[in-house]
Chains A and B, each alone.
Chain A
Amino acid sequence: MTKFSDLTRLPDSRGHFGPYGGRFVSETLSFALEELEKTYQSLRDDPDFQAEFDYDLAHYVGRPSPLYHAERWSSHLGGAQIWLKREDLNHTGAHKVNNTIGQALLAKKGGKPRVIAETGAGQHGVATATVAARLGLKCDIYMGAEDVERQKLNVYRMHLLGANVIPVESGSRTLKDAMNEALRDWVTNVDDTFYIIGTVAGPHPYPMLVRDFNAVVGREARRQSLEQIGRLPDALIACVGGGSNAMGLFYPFVEDDDVLMYGVEAGGDGVETGRHAAPLTANAPRGVLHGNRTYLMSDEGGQIADTHSISAGLDYPGVGPEHALWKDVGRVQYVAANDDKVLEAFRELTRMEGIMPALESAHALAHAKVLAPTMRPDQHIVVNLSGRGDKDILTVAKIDGVNF
């Protein structure tokens, strides 16, 4: 028994993580969610299903991803040793594919000929379009119109993969609106459509199954740390929007009380300015959106607040319910990195290690820059490099005043 061992027994049978999570959906979707939960419960411990999942991860995604010692950057920062969990090297370039492989298998078992997904930065959309192409499923991707604009490369990748990208013009035209629209689609087409949610949010059982499919990241990192460092790391760092890559890295370490964990939210212009996407760091009130209760940025009347982040993938007013609980019980410390620090970390890693991180992952790197110098050189930090930065080149070029 360790201090936090109860945390691995969640969610409860109704999908609750303490006061968070749940299944707050309109009645039309209840049946589909019950069905999905049953399918998943019957398959999660099925060796054949696990074998199929593991096979795809090994031969299609290219797992295990390396744990890379960023020696030059570590010595530059002058403190702890930084190890990068290279999810950027996965097929499609981010951790997102771990989950879409898993959910596509569920769609296949459920006999659904069509999949839909929401996407922010486009990584989840690309990962969904990829597995849909492989399985011959019809694929529609909802993406906020603003994100379609700032992530043009990924939009075109999805087109090439045969997916239909639907720009969402309602609301703030970002990730949350894409999720609203995907839910509307699912309500209408629930008979023949599987909704591949991209993060550890949404109604039960999504936070649980997205966590389970991404937990391969943490299992590998734990094993690799023992092999390469000779012991568990002192700290883990990952960025948190909805929180799927952080959940994937952290979950297998939850009971290791000595491993500190830092979830890095999007500070935007600064949490104090209100222009951010950091509900946990800002102590946003509890609320309900997209099927679960969590920390949620909303105004006094309960209307969902506009968020701001340089990275489309973190531009979301809520956060996965399990993270909300982990904040409350003190298992993970949630902090924010502002846009300017994120860009600095993006440039620094690119120049010093020849690895161009996604702007989302650069949030985790920005916090590593803060944390590492406070630690000794014989201490170790594992940072989840959740995605590669190719998709962000246009965004960074624009900031640099370069037009193609």
Chain B
Amino acid sequence: MNRIDQRFAALKEQGRTALIPYITAGDPSPDYTVTYMHALVEAGADIIELGIPFSDPMADGPVIQKACERALKYNTRLSHIFGMVREFRRQDSETPVVLMGYLNPIERLGYQAFAEQAAESGVDGVLVVDMPPEEADEIAPLFKEHRLQSIFLVAPTTSEARAATICAHGEGYLYYVSLKGVTGAATLDVEAVDRQLDVLRKLTGLPLCVGFGIRDGASAAAVGKVADGVIVGSALVSRIAEGCERPDSVAEELKEVLGEMRQALDA
């Protein structure tokens, strides 16, 4: 069984909600990514989403855009990111790692090489923001062959017909984008999210995780009541941004921010 499925099976048994932090690989420099990943696990992360920096992150707000810029100053690319996951795996063989990013860096490396190297380094799943299932027919078989799970987004604007297609192709979990807009945007309406998750539950048995708009313990707990997992990105990445002159001390701050969410979810 894939690490992601294992983790959700265990969480279900314990009646707990998954906590899924996102950080951009190489932010603020490649030296810190693995340290931060371990810190996130210590604070209660169930799965780590590791962002592949991209020069033109069209679906992201300014917080993640700037994270990409910091990472790209060090020319962080996929070969380095696989190295980070490999290093992370030396100490942690259990926490699932999902790579999240845009298609062009993957396309440039080559689908075959990407799938091989990602799997070999210990990656468990891949979420390509600008690749809906309709465009994934070339890469999906390669992911399957290498036991990488394809994770897809569902949005408030997704029609039921599309949702059915996405559910049929999705593995691991569904990433429900809780609001229209880019990452790091405004607040979210938990009741609306709840209604839409109900629709999705009729279509799939996949765990439903909610991202966009979760910034603290309270919002995490509110979403945690209706979802199988909560995803938190910009709230963590803005801590990394504030601390980019003193990156050593940021690991502790990340633990605090995520720890508060963990407590709120488990309360």
Write out the residue numbers on chain A whose beta carbons fall within 8 Å of the beta carbon of B107.
286-288, 293, 302
Scan residues 156-190 of chain A and give those whose CB is less than 8 A from a CB of chain B.
Answer: 170-171, 176-177, 180, 183-184, 187-190
Q: How far does the Cβ of A315 sit from chain B's closest Cβ, in whole Å?
A: 15
Contact (Cβ within 8 A) B181 A187: yes
CB contact between A28 and one of B54, B103, B135, B157 (< 8 Å): that residue: B157
Contact (Cβ within 8 A) B177 A28: yes
Contact with A along B148-164 (1 / 0, CB 8 A): 00001111111100100
User: Is A120 close to B, CB under 8 A?
Assistant: no
Contact (Cβ within 8 A) B182 A32: no
Scan residues 212-258 of chain A and give those whose CB is less than 8 A from a CB of chain B.
Answer: none
Contact with A along B61-79 (1 / 0, CB 8 A): 1100100000010010110
Contact (Cβ within 8 A) A26 B129: yes
Across the A-B interface, the 8 shortest Cβ-Cβ residue pairs:
A302-B105, A302-B108, A301-B77, A27-B153, A188-B181, A26-B59, A28-B155, A31-B157
Question: Known: A30-B162, A298-B108, A301-B75. Contact between A288 and B54, CB under 8 A?
Answer: no
Contact (Cβ within 8 A) A303 B155: no
* 19 contacting pairs across A/B (C-beta < 8 A): A14-B134, A23-B132, A26-B58, A28-B155, A30-B155, A31-B158, A170-B62, A171-B55, A183-B58, A189-B180, A191-B180, A285-B108, A287-B104, A288-B103, A288-B131, A298-B108, A302-B104, A303-B54, A303-B55
Write out the residue numbers on chain A whose beta carbons fall within 8 Å of the beta carbon of B61.
184
Contact (Cβ within 8 A) B152 A27: yes
CA distance A177 to B107 in the complex (A): 21
Number of B interface residues at 8 Å Cβ cutoff, please give it: 42
CA distance A289 to B107 in the complex (A): 11
Write out the residue numbers on chain B whose beta carbons fall within 8 Å of the beta carbon of A170.
62, 65
Contact (Cβ within 8 A) B58 A184: yes
Question: Known: A171-B55, A184-B58. Contact between A26 and B153, CB under 8 A?
Answer: yes
User: Is B56 close to A, CB under 8 A?
Assistant: yes
CA distance A286 to B180 in the complex (A): 30
A31-B162, A184-B61, A303-B55 given. 18 additional CB < 8 A pairs?
A: A22-B135, A23-B135, A27-B177, A28-B180, A31-B155, A34-B162, A180-B56, A180-B58, A188-B180, A188-B185, A287-B104, A289-B56, A289-B104, A301-B75, A301-B77, A302-B54, A302-B107, A302-B109
User: Is B116 close to A, CB under 8 A?
Assistant: no
User: Is A69 close to B, CB under 8 A?
Assistant: no
Q: How far does the Cβ of A38 sit from chain B's closest Cβ, in whole Å?
A: 11
Number of A interface residues at 8 Å Cβ cutoff, please give it: 40
User: Is A296 close to B, CB under 8 A?
Assistant: yes
CB contact between A187 and one of B56, B77, B106, B182 (< 8 Å): that residue: B182
Contact (Cβ within 8 A) A171 B56: yes
Residues of B contacting A: mostly:
loop
User: Is A106 close to B, CB under 8 A?
Assistant: no
CA distance A226 to B152 in the complex (A): 53
User: Is B260 close to A, CB under 8 A?
Assistant: no
Contact (Cβ within 8 A) B108 A287: yes
User: Is A300 close to B, CB under 8 A?
Assistant: yes
CA distance A176 to B55 in the complex (A): 11
Write out the residue numbers on chain A whose beta carbons fall within 8 Å of the beta carbon of B75.
301
User: Is B130 close to A, CB under 8 A?
Assistant: yes
CA distance A84 to B107 in the complex (A): 40
Write out the residue numbers on chain A whose beta carbons fall within 8 Å of the beta carbon of B103.
24, 288
